Amino acid sequence: MAERGTTARHPHSGATAQLAQIGFRLRVAREERGMTISSVAAFTGLTKGFISQVERGLASASVTSLAAICDALTMPMGRLFDPPKVYVSRHGDREPAKLMGEGVSDTVLSPPGQSDVQVIETWVEPGGGFEPEPYRLPVDREFVVVLAGTLELRIEAETYLLGEGDSVSFDACHAHIWRNPSERERTRLMWVLTSHV
């Protein structure tokens, strides 16, 4: 087959974007697995030069050759053609949300439809927050960064005082409460909640 020789088939201009996507995904998968182009070539019988050109989107490959490369990388061939999952949330479309706490205003920044990650911007008035009853969330992890002001966060029996630029990450199964301990300044937070789906 042509791919096993030194001459690669070059794509016409209309195929360039799709070939670049396929090549990018093959290269990422190979690097994630710690494999070299040489090891993929040895597994598939294809030339190193051809595999390199495919990864750079400079050459098209037959279905048979793509299947062989995917087999070497132990990845389903369908992943090469899946459109990227892109979620967009426009600033003007967001509405304030009242999620929890007193003296708190929230805005959900993550786009609708994205279930594995939730990003929330929170403003906390002086003395506001979520207390006195600790709570848990039905997610895997919580990450919070203080963008302005201060945050007093209690996780189980430990209390953390966080200032501007500080961040913390913890398992959401741990009971926690939080508040703005300042008497004068508002606190601005960014929460990131992650779930395995």
> Where do the structural domains in the chain lie, given as residue ranges?
2-80, 91-194
Q: Which residue has the higher pLDDT, 186 or 113?
A: 186
Binned at pLDDT 50, 70 and 90, residue 98 comes out as confident
Position 186 confidence tier, pLDDT thresholds 50, 70, 90 = very high
Mean per-residue pLDDT, 152-176: 95
pLDDT at 1: 40
Q: Average of pLDDT values for 116-143?
A: 91
CATH number of 91-194: 2.60.120.10
pLDDT of residue 6: 39
| 41 alpha carbon, distance to own chain's centre | 31
pLDDT score for 95: 76
For the beta carbon of residue 14, count every other beta carbon within 10 angstroms. 7
10 phi and psi, to 5 degrees? -95, 140
Per-residue confidence at 149, pLDDT binned at 50, 70, 90?
very high
Q: Which of 8-12, 85-89, 175-179 is modeled with the greatest confidence? A: 175-179
Average pLDDT of the chain, as a whole number? 87
Residue 34 buriedness (CB in 10 A; 0-12 / 13-18 / 19+): exposed
pLDDT classification of 197: cutoffs 50, 70, 90:
low
What does the pLDDT read at residue 96? Answer: 77
Count of other CB atoms within 10 angstroms of residue 161: 10
Predicted confidence band of residue 55 (pLDDT cuts 50, 70, 90): very high
* 27/53 Cα distance (integer angstroms): 11
Does the pTM surpass 0.75? The reply is no
Instruction: Kindly state which CATH superfamily the domain 2-80 is placed in.
Output: lambda repressor-like DNA-binding domains (1.10.260.40)
pLDDT in the model for residue 67: 94
